[in-house]
Amino acid sequence: MTTAAVPNFRQDAQVIGLVGLAHGVSHFFHLILAPLFPWLKEAFSLSYAELGLLMTVFFVVSGVGQALAGFVVDRVGARNVLFAGVGLLGVSALVLSQASNYPMLLAGSMLAGLGNSVFHPSDYTLLNKRVSTARLGHAFSMHGITGNLGWAAAPVFLTGIAGFAGWHVALMAAACVPFALLLLLFVYRDVLRTDDIKPTASKHAEAPGGHVLDFMRLPAVWMCFAFFLITAMALGGIQSFSSPSLRALYGMSLASATAGYTAYMLASAAGMIWGGFLAAKTSRHERTIAFAFTASGLFAVVIAAGVVPPMMAVVLMGAVGFGAGIAGPSRDLLIRAASPKNATGRVYGVVYSGLDIGLSMAPLLFGALMDANHPAWVFIGIGIFQCMAIVTAVGVGTNTARTAVKTSLAA
């Protein structure tokens, strides 16, 4: 086995583009059912609780599967696992399109969650192994941006088609998206090879021993898990109840409240671009995260106070998203630095399962606050979770820096 040549710009761009497309499709499938709830509710006479359960099942299966998928990635390779996940998304959409009862919807949602579970361990393993170190910050920022674009595209795509052709056709059309991606990935399969690359010596944390589960003894891994769980709670609050909370606090129209969420998503994407440049210039990524989340959390509390005009609240939603976006690339590099050698897939799988767990829990918490007629606490909670995330990020960064010093002294 020979060491691969230093990746050139063209190879980096191809890997970043292909992995980014895959990530966008995975986020597209996060919302494969939610935009179609009005049609599904009428077609199957479902309650809102039954509709919500479809989303919970998706994220629970994805969270459990993600933790396990990391082990499979490290064993059989990221490319093969990514292919399987993309294929499962296509199959899940076909199953959902043919659903004639609620159990079939549940089965399709579970399949979609299983397919979604492979993307973070596969994507980050491919980026870490196939993209040059100097461009990793930009790679992670583009990875986050494509995810946001997937979230933005799904409602437009699905409701647009369902509006004139019905939900069955919308889901069949959605199935074409991952199958088209799978064909593209297969054509460029050599770009995504990782079996010919030797693990490079790096500043990554060393696993305490030689067992496959030894990485789980590293405190930094569980601090990263906690970081993702906490930030996902904030994100889940934004996604689920920012619009109804804005309407309750400011008397906004539905269109204006939706504009607030759109401002958050667009500003988050812009923040990720800037965050990529910031991440490339420093090794203390926890500091960038701390500054970004502090600002973002404060803006959320200002929104909760209801002391600004409605249009300024929409602008502040963008500011909250911009701060969260800036933190994204630094977050991913922070995890990379905390990952033991040869355990990238396992670490990202376990850590990112916290994202799915948080997204499955957040609607329950923030929904209860809305039911209790406390819309301001939606944004207060978002701010609190973002500030809590700072503590875990600083803990990860400090632990990783201390480990690097010990390793260099031992050498």
List pLDDT tens digits, range 48-100. Answer: 778 878 888 898 899 889 888 888 888 888 999 999 999 999 999 999 999 99
CA angle 350, 352, 353 (to 5 degrees): 65
pLDDT score for 224: 81
- 10 Å CB burial of residue 181 (0-12, 13-18, 19+) is buried
List pLDDT tens digits, range 150-199. Answer: 887 888 899 889 989 999 999 999 999 999 999 999 999 999 887 655 44
- Comparing 9-192 with 214-410, is the CATH topology the same? yes
List pLDDT tens digits, range 347-405. Answer: 777 787 888 888 888 877 887 888 888 889 989 999 999 888 888 887 776 666 566 55
Better-scored residue on pLDDT, 38 or 311: 311
pLDDT score for 18: 96
The domain spans of the chain are 9-192, 214-410
Among 94-103, 219-228, 301-310, which is the least confidently predicted range? 219-228
pLDDT score for 212: 62
pLDDT at 323 over 70: yes
- Per-residue pLDDT band for 305 (boundaries 50, 70, 90) equals very high
pLDDT score for 399: 63
pTM for this prediction: 0.73
- Per-residue pLDDT band for 343 (boundaries 50, 70, 90) equals low
Superfamily of domain 9-192: MFS general substrate transporter like domains (1.20.1250.20)
Domain 214-410 matching CATH 3.40.50.2000: the answer reads: no
- Mean pLDDT, the chain, rounded, equals 84
Mean pLDDT of 259-275: 86
